[in-house]
Structure 1
Amino acid sequence: MNAQQGSADEQTLADLARRLLAVDTGGWSPEGVRTMADGLGWPRGGTADRPVLVTGRSAGDARLRPVGRYEERYVSGESYVELAVPVATAAPDAAAQAAAFHAAKEELTEALGRPSVMGSHGETGPFYGSGPLWGAPFLRWRGSTDTLELRAGKAGPELVLQPTAPAEDWFWRQGHGEEHAISGFFGSNSDPANAGLGRPGGWTARSWETVTRSLGDFLEALPAETAALGIRIGMPVYGRSGRGAPLLFDVTCDDRLSIGCFAPYGVDAASLGWGTVAEHPSTASVWHDGDPVWRVDAGGPGEPRGRALAEMLVATARAAGVSEPADLLVGGEAEDVDDYHVKYYGLGLPTG
């Protein structure tokens, strides 16, 4: 990891997190934020449109997000919806960014306990914000009034203190069913902190082009995001056809993405781009018994070619007799990740 942790007299990440959780945000009103800044010992700076708190930390100043046109529908008296504090910087490549995020996650988990919520924002974060191209993982220590989030920032991980209700209200309202309304994936555990946490409805892909785009986005960032979060995803994908709904693919990812294909008789998997264990030897540790015969090693953080992989999976599904996107099913087993229940909103595929 090429992360810059700051000077020796700089607060540790754990201490910073504890200070943010203990601070009085005063309802995120202008007066409350001034009191919060004074309590943190951080002078105000920046401009009216882009206010900051001057932290003196090597990773940069903290950014306040005022309520504007994209936030106003979701607030109840708040004038600000988050304070984002950069905590480390790393080289721009996906592997370095994922490693910096994971290091922050490990320190915070030791200090605060397991986060109650985890996932990926995907292409669209809270209030329609965009994240870095390598991936958009996040972890949350949810509170009834305020929530602390570890988020992937533009240059490295950031600690984000936010009023709980506005961001959750924004997320809930995206469940209107339009294609690509929600991106990424979202998981929560049985922590009492999640009492009252709502989950929006998802959306359903209506064309193979939509599936190709959403699946490509998901696969391209997946190894970087799972490495950052320290999780392993095992996702069986079934294809409903005249032969029932047999297993078609096995998507497995921790810090490396491997995909197995159970091509039915009559489908020329090799011509569609699939290889064998001889061509992808690293997959031998994923599937020990040589089944599936057809597989691909898509690589680690920053390496998968998402669009090409998605095109290969869609072509294979259609060759196997899957006639429409609604007949491509994510196995329910994929929803159990460690002790989190995960919904893969960004795929737009049903779970069966």
Structure 2
Amino acid sequence: MVDSVAELAGRLTGADAGGWTPEGVRALVAGLGWTWTDAASGPVIGTGRAAGDARLRPVGAMEERYAEGEAYLELAVPVGLAEPDAGSQAAAFRAVRDELTAALGAASIMGVYGSLGPFYDSGPLWGTPFLRWRDRPNTLELRAGKAGPELILQPTDPVENWFWRQGIGEEHSITGFFGSRNDPSNGGLGFPGGWDARSWETVTGALADFLGMLPAETTALGTSVSMPVYGQLPEGGAPILFDVSCRDRLSLGCFAPDDFDPSALGWGTVGKHPGTRKVWPDDDDPQWRIDAGGPGEPSGRALAETLVATARAVGVRTPADLIVGGEASYMDAYHVRFYGLGLKTG
């Protein structure tokens, strides 16, 4: 009989990988009752699960600097298959997320990898959500795989070493966002420094990546984003310019000055975007808004261009003058750092 995902998670968290040495990992696989077949491309781990074989990630030349004697960095076990569209993938991830949360409690860490995942991997095009149940010496992670959700058992230190060393201050050196709970499991967890966008082109690209996948990722994670964005103006003051709201759909609100008409830049009223009443019941607060759609629907680039063009038109001079409100840093029980935007938080 094949384990449920929750049962599999319990077996993985209780397993001993023997320091992730070759002998330790072979014993881990045998203890799980799985088969090991050597192949030219690496070990094939037969699990008997419908979602397919498990994969081991060996430490290669790119990963050696982050490892501390481990021969392998992760055991990835597919736990679900879904159609490739964003809605189906997000729903499959969410179903596993709900099952694991009921069995293990809330994850220690949640977030989105963006275009740069651990050890410089790229993720699926629909989104890159992840959840981690952090422990030592190993951490269990739910990650978006290429065909569906995957459970990852990994030694804790290498993946955290990799993340820490990305804080070099270069544009796009860290992508996505990273949230952690105030929980004993996160004791000793480090947070790298971020980076600052140096051009409006960089801001546009970062916002495009963030907005295009956001409703799929918040749906998958079972959370929401409520992000006010402020603009420092030459005459003084930093009024709110935008509100980014996303759970299962992405809505953008614009608080334009009374003497400015943003309709030419792509904004509409509630008459054009009636679905936004679920977010902002008052038709005039904000007056200007966009219903960008659900998983897989937003045009990230077009939305980003609208936001940047509007900010510049009302007088925001540089990317350093565009500020993410500190309120956005709290998503349910998680404190979140929006590394991938390259914008100040205040």
1:257 to 2:250 alignment = yes
Aligned partner of 1:338 in structure 2 is 332
Match for 2:193 among 201, 226, 231?
201
Equivalent AA in structure 2 for residue 159 of structure 1: L
Aligned partner of 1:98 in structure 2 is 90
Answer yes or no: is the 8 Å Cα contact 1:49–1:66 preserved in 2.
no
CA deviation map 1:110-151 (0-9, x unaligned): 111110100001111100011100000000000021000000
Q: Shift of residue 100 of structure 1?
A: 0.3
Where 1:174 maps in the other structure, the secondary structure is: coil
CA distance in 1, matches of 2:185, 2:207: 32
Q: Shift of residue 237 of structure 1?
A: 0.2
Aligned partner of 2:262 in structure 1 is 269
Q: Shift of residue 46 of structure 1?
A: 4.9
CA distance in 1, matches of 2:313, 2:261: 9
Aligned partner of 1:3 in structure 2 is none
Equivalent AA in structure 2 for residue 295 of structure 1: R
Q: What does 1:300-311 align with in structure 2 at a 5 Å threshold?
A: 300-311=294-305
Where 2:345 maps in the other structure, the secondary structure is: coil
Match for 2:238 among 245, 267, 290?
245
Residues 246/321 of structure 1: CA separation in 2 closer, same or farther (3 Å cut): same
Answer yes or no: is the 8 Å Cα contact 1:189–1:340 preserved in 2.
yes
Aligned partner of 2:293 in structure 1 is 299
Aligned partner of 2:173 in structure 1 is 181
CA distance in 2, matches of 1:50, 1:270: 56
Match for 1:70 among 48, 62, 66?
62
CA distance in 2, matches of 1:343, 1:180: 14
1:34 to 2:7 alignment = no
CA distance in 2, matches of 1:109, 1:204: 35
Equivalent AA in structure 1 for residue 304 of structure 2: A
Match for 2:307 among 284, 296, 313?
313
1:171 to 2:158 alignment = no
CA deviation map 1:241-264 (0-9, x unaligned): 124110000000001000000012
Give structure 1 regions of 4+ aligned residues with deviation exceeding 2 angstroms: 45-52, 265-268
CA distance in 2, matches of 1:51, 1:178: 36
Aligned partner of 2:226 in structure 1 is 234
TM-score (structure 1 length as normaliser): 0.96
TM-score (structure 2 length as normaliser): 0.98
Aligned partner of 1:113 in structure 2 is 105
Where 1:76 maps in the other structure, the secondary structure is: coil
* Aligned residue-pair number: 344
Q: Shift of residue 268 of structure 1?
A: 2.3
CA distance in 2, matches of 1:185, 1:214: 12
Unaligned 5+ segments in structure 2 are: none
Equivalent AA in structure 2 for residue 268 of structure 1: D
Aligned partner of 1:218 in structure 2 is 210
CA distance in 2, matches of 1:93, 1:335: 29
Where 1:182 maps in the other structure, the secondary structure is: coil
CA deviation map 1:23-69 (0-9, x unaligned): 11000000101110110111112535432311111100110000012
Residues 145/265 of structure 1: CA separation in 2 closer, same or farther (3 Å cut): same
Aligned partner of 2:280 in structure 1 is 287
CA distance in 1, matches of 2:339, 2:50: 36
Where 2:3 maps in the other structure, the secondary structure is: coil
Aligned partner of 1:4 in structure 2 is none
Identify which range, 73-82 or 260-269, moves more after superposition.
Answer: 260-269
Equivalent AA in structure 2 for residue 221 of structure 1: M
Q: What does 1:41-80 align with in structure 2 at a 5 Å threshold?
A: 41-47=33-39, 49-80=41-72
State the percentage of identical aligned residues.
Answer: 67
Where 2:344 maps in the other structure, the secondary structure is: coil
Q: Shift of residue 275 of structure 1?
A: 0.3
Aligned partner of 2:343 in structure 1 is 349
Equivalent AA in structure 1 for residue 68 of structure 2: S
